[in-house]
């Protein structure tokens, strides 16, 4: 089979020459022969033979798993049947769910000096997925075409006239909206572990005349409930004048009962010739989160109750019930702050309180203690779920984006970002209190970026920079600010190409016109040299913060540092493929949970 020979490798992969890109799936249901035949209706080769078993740590549990899986589905044919049935269940589930979808794309061009492709421009989409009638997304952002409606088109760049649709990337969560056995040939490839999850790998290719936009590529099916947990390939064949892109789409086990939902999608083209000898060369990451918005909302109701509660009985006996004018002003500001934070968390843009907030707070506390600063109410730190590099304050809450935390090279540079925000608070820069009126929070989610704006004017920015330098020079970080300055130099160097990454959606960018934030730190830092292997000015995206797409909890990724062997591997601010370590929910020992065959799955017997 020539189709489906899609090998997932990070680079230099010779993928199918056939086409990709624009993604309007017009699934034509063709009348096909009702008689279905798979390519190989055979039992997968047994894994128990020592000669065939790769020396893997899971070896002991592997044999058990093989037996169980074999008991559950005794032939490759049955695996296909189960997987198709699970996929229909998946589609039905997705119609009820409305996660946020974020796509960040970098267009590449070969850099002769580095001998590697580097980003020359970028595109950003953020929206909420709505598949109740096909794949749709309500777009939050569109840098170039705001106001054109939800199906708007965003220009890729001036270099290319090719256009991407946000919808196209959202489409990559779906293998085939009408996945039917009669449209495809299935070929067993092997068994393989993705993380701790054992999978059956198969190639899937549309039959002739199966209609346009069918999936063509490779599929990984976990061997307990037979969910597709990863698929890698493209749609085929493509309609006239549009292309389908290549993608590697990952799902995560987010709910008990074998519920696997889309979490990460990597897409890349390095050699797509599309018109007049023009070549498409890009890489893009799509992340999904905020599946369980209902609970995020419920949480915040509790928060509201606590804020609105009057003083305790004890307090009331000692104090007048009315706040003094100054207290009232403070409470009013606090109310605006809490309203905004609630709203941002409810719509899934702000992570719930968690482990990373504490790490950030520790740095802020270091700054405050060494500078003898005492501020009431207490300062909190929160993380914005999105990729673009930004930070801002909402009253006494410092907000830093996930993308920013990802790319910062060390703690001193994190201290630089946080201290700038701390300085706004120290200097008493106010939050616009119009947000203290609750009715101002009643706007559609997708208008958040229009309705909420925490950007500061130039005067306040400069004052905060000045104050921040003063605070940093009197802190444990004062001798380590070289990397912070170097980071700013990298920002400055890459900003012209990465306009959609190095910008603020809600707050201020690291660049203010031509001026870089805290630019005085740059003078004492080393020369920014992209060719120097041992100089790490900024990290790639996605290296530090891991998202739980169900509840938006964030955690720091614990990976061992990898030695960089060439300058091309530094990839500052860049997008890379995903290789998540898949796990089953709530099972420390993955294979322990017996693969109970589903009662609803009418498993053929006696094969």
Q: Which residues bind Zn ion (CB under 5 A)?
A: 456, 461, 464, 508
Strand (E) or helix (H) holding 555: strand 554-556
Q: Is the peptide bond before 377 cis (omega within 30 degrees of 0)?
A: yes
Q: How far is the CB of 450 from Zn ion (least distance, A)?
A: 20
Nearest CB to Zn ion, comparing residues 167 and 464? 464
Q: Are 213 and 239 in contact (CB under 8 A)?
A: yes
Q: How far is the CB of 326 from Zn ion (least distance, A)?
A: 25
Nearest CB to Zn ion, comparing residues 119 and 507? 507
Nearest CB to Zn ion, comparing residues 22 and 491? 491
Residue 149, judged by CB atoms within 10 A of its CB (0-12, 13-18, 19+), counts as exposed
Q: Is the peptide bond before 205 cis (omega within 30 degrees of 0)?
A: no
Give the gyration radius of the chain's Cα atoms.
26
Q: How far is the CB of 399 from Zn ion (least distance, A)?
A: 11
Q: How far is the CB of 543 from Zn ion (least distance, A)?
A: 25
Q: How far is the CB of 115 from Zn ion (least distance, A)?
A: 38
Q: How far is the CB of 424 from Zn ion (least distance, A)?
A: 6
Nearest CB to Zn ion, comparing residues 281 and 509? 509
Q: How far is the CB of 417 from Zn ion (least distance, A)?
A: 10
Q: How far is the CB of 391 from Zn ion (least distance, A)?
A: 7
How far is the C-alpha of 196 from the C-alpha of 204, rounded, in Å? 24
Measured from each CB, the residue nearest to Zn ion is: 508
| 566, two tokens | 């060439």
Nearest CB to Zn ion, comparing residues 78 and 391? 391
The pairing of strands 397-401 and 380-384 is parallel
Q: How far is the CB of 428 from Zn ion (least distance, A)?
A: 14
| 123, two tokens | 């595109």
How far is the C-alpha of 229 from the C-alpha of 234, rounded, in Å? 16
Nearest CB to Zn ion, comparing residues 230 and 456? 456
Nearest CB to Zn ion, comparing residues 139 and 516? 516
Nearest CB to Zn ion, comparing residues 508 and 591? 508
Nearest CB to Zn ion, comparing residues 78 and 393? 393
Q: Are 289 and 552 in contact (CB under 8 A)?
A: yes
Contacts 24+ apart (CB under 8 A), 527-532: 527/489, 528/486, 528/489, 528/490, 528/493, 530/114, 530/493, 530/567, 530/570, 530/572, 531/113, 531/114, 531/567, 532/567
Q: How far is the CB of 556 from Zn ion (least distance, A)?
A: 25
Backbone angles phi, psi at 214, to 5 degrees: -80, 160
Of the candidates 142, 169, 174, the residue with the CA atom closest to the CA atom of residue 266: 169
Nearest CB to Zn ion, comparing residues 86 and 456? 456
Reduced DSSP (H G I as helix, E B as strand, rest coil) percent helix, strand, coil of the chain, to 5: 30, 25, 50
Of the candidates 351, 419, 428, the residue with the CA atom closest to the CA atom of residue 395: 428
How far is the C-alpha of 530 from the C-alpha of 129, rounded, in Å? 38
């Amino acid at each position: 089979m020539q189709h489906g020979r899609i090998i997932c490798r990070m680079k230099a992969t010779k993928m199918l020459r056939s086409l990709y890109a624009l993604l309007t799936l017009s699934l034509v249901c063709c009348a096909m022969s009702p008689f279905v035949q798979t390519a190989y209706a055979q039992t997968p080769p047994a894994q128990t033979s020592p000669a065939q078993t790769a020396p893997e740590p899971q070896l002991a549990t592997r044999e058990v798993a093989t037996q169980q899986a074999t008991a559950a589905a005794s032939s490759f044919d049955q695996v296909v049947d189960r997987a198709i049935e699970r996929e229909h269940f998946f589609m039905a589930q997705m119609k009820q769910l409305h996660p946020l979808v974020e796509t960040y794309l970098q267009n590449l061009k070969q850099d002769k000096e580095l001998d590697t492709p580097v980003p020359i421009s970028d595109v950003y989409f953020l929206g909420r997925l709505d598949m109740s009638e096909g794949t749709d997304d309500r777009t939050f952002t569109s840098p170039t075409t705001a106001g054109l409606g939800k199906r708007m088109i965003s220009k890729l760049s001036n270099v290319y006239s090719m256009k991407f649709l946000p919808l196209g990337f959202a489409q990559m969560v779906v293998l085939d909206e009408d996945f039917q056995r009669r449209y495809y040939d299935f070929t067993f490839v092997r068994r393989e572990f993705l993380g701790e999850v054992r999978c059956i790998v198969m190639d899937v290719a549309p039959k002739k005349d199966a209609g346009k936009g069918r999936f063509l590529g490779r599929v990984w099916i976990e061997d307990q409930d037979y969910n597709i947990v990863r698929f890698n390939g493209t749609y085929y064949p493509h309609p006239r004048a549009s292309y389908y892109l290549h993608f590697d789409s990952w799902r995560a086990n987010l709910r008990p009962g074998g519920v696997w939902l889309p979490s990460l999608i990597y897409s890349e083209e390095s050699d797509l010739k599309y018109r007049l000898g023009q070549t498409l060369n890009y890489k893009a990451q799509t992340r999904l989160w905020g599946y369980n918005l209902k609970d995020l909302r419920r949480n915040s109701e509790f928060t509201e109750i606590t804020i609105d509660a009057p003083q305790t009985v004890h307090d009331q006996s000692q104090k007048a019930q009315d706040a003094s004018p100054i207290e009232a002003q403070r409470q009013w500001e606090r109310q605006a702050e809490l309203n905004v934070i609630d709203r941002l968390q409810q719509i899934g843009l702000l992570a719930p309180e968690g482990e990373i907030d504490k790490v950030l707070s520790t740095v802020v506390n270091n700054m405050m203690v060494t500078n003898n600063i005492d501020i009431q109410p207490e300062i909190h730190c929160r993380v914005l779920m999105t990729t673009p590099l930004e930070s801002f304050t909402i009253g006494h809450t410092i907000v830093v984006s996930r993308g920013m935390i990802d790319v910062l090279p060390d703690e001193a540079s994190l201290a630089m970002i946080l201290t700038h925000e701390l300085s706004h608070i120290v200097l008493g820069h106010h939050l616009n209190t119009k947000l203290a009126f609750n009715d101002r929070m009643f706007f559609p989610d997708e208008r958040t970026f229009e309705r909420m704006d925490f950007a500061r004017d130039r005067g306040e920015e400069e004052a905060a920079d000045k104050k921040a330098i003063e605070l940093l020079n009197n802190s444990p970080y004062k001798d380590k600010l070289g990397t912070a300055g170097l980071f700013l130099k990298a920002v400055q160097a890459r900003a012209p190409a990465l306009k959609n990454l190095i910008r603020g959606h809600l707050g201020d960018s690291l660049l203010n016109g031509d001026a870089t934030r805290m630019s005085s730190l740059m003078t004492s830092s080393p020369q920014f040299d992209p060719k120097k292997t041992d100089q790490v000015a900024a990290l790639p995206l996605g290296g530090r913060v891991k998202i739980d797409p169900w509840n938006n909890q964030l955690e720091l990724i614990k990976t061992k540092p990898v030695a960089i062997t060439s300058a091309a591997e530094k990839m500052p601010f860049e997008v890379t493929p995903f290789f998540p370590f898949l796990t089953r929910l709530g099972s420390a020992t993955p294979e322990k949970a017996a693969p109970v065959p589903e009662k609803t799955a009418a498993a053929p017997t006696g094969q």
